[in-house]
Structure 1
């Protein structure tokens, strides 16, 4: 008899510039294997939950987040909260027009970047208070970094 392979959780390790005790943020999606939801909300909306990045891809994503923040921070300090300004700043660090989406978002600018076609995605928002960015690995049953609008 042969042993059946069991899935394992990918191992993460500290990325360059990250403290050895840092751990990836847990996903906000946490289905309960013991008690299925009675309304099937989590099951029906699982297609909208992005994949976490692990290993080298996680490090690639964190490096991209650092570059994006560094590129957008001068705009934030100047008070340039325009989608065009953010798009130009991101183009200045090598992202093409096809990789970047920017949009006005209330009192700031939102952005979504497809770093590569794996995908490694960077999403965030620049406001007067801060530039926030996070990285993820796309969505189930969907190509690209934009959140799908329909599921299975």
Structure 2
């Protein structure tokens, strides 16, 4: 039985592709190189140069934080609560977006602080104060949070996407984040898996 010409051509492509991969190589480490890549005097690329890596740096006015201790156990949790509720965890901001988010949070706290000091926890007044920062009335939600507090959510529409927080007699808290996994805008998804 004879093979059609196009089948022979395709079969010939497989060894050619494998040969190309072998010639190109898969990495940059060579025989005699140290594990850190400095055996031949070539510099090791910094971790920040890795595609997709997000670099955080101190933002203006920010006090550097010490590194959080890493968890001592790498064993997976026995229940899947965290995995199943991951859609409720906000997406963190990194790099310049994080700095921009911190700046927005400072503005939000500054405009709400006079209301908090007066004990004025009216959601309509909080809404008016937040829209006074230039945010569209339709993108700002303020609501009663417990008997003596106000909660708020601002959909910025650009990075940072969202600012969420609370104001009560003790403090005004706010956080900037980039939405929720599987959510729409600044709203988390209605269910997980």
TM > 0.5: yes
Structure 1 residue 138 and structure 2 residue 182: aligned? no
Greater RCO structure (CA 8 Å; 6+ sep): 1
Aligned to 1:80: 120
Richer in helix (by share): 2
Return the TM-score normalized by structure 1.
Answer: 0.83
Q: Which runs of 5+ in 1 are unaligned?
A: none
Distance 2:127 2:71 in 1: 36
8 Å CA contact 1:117–1:144 kept in 2: the answer is no
- Structure 1 segments of 4 or more deviating over 6 A? 30-33
Q: For each residue in 1:58-100, what CA deviation from the matched residue of structure 2 results, as whole angstroms up to 9, or x when unmatched?
A: 0111000000001101111122101100000001111111221
8 Å CA contact 1:64–1:115 kept in 2: the answer is no
Map 1:44-63 → 2, pairs under 5 A: 44-63=84-103
Q: Which runs of 5+ in 2 are unaligned?
A: 1-24, 28-49
Distance 1:41 1:32 in 2: 20
Richer in strand (by share): 1
Match of 1:122 among 160, 163, 187: 163
Aligned to 1:70: 110
8 Å CA contact 1:57–1:120 kept in 2: the answer is no
Aligned to 2:143: 103
Using a 3 Å threshold, how does the CA distance of structure 1 residues 118 and 151 change in structure 2: closer, same or farther? farther
Task: Figure out how many residues of one structure are paired with residues of the other and give that number.
Answer: 147
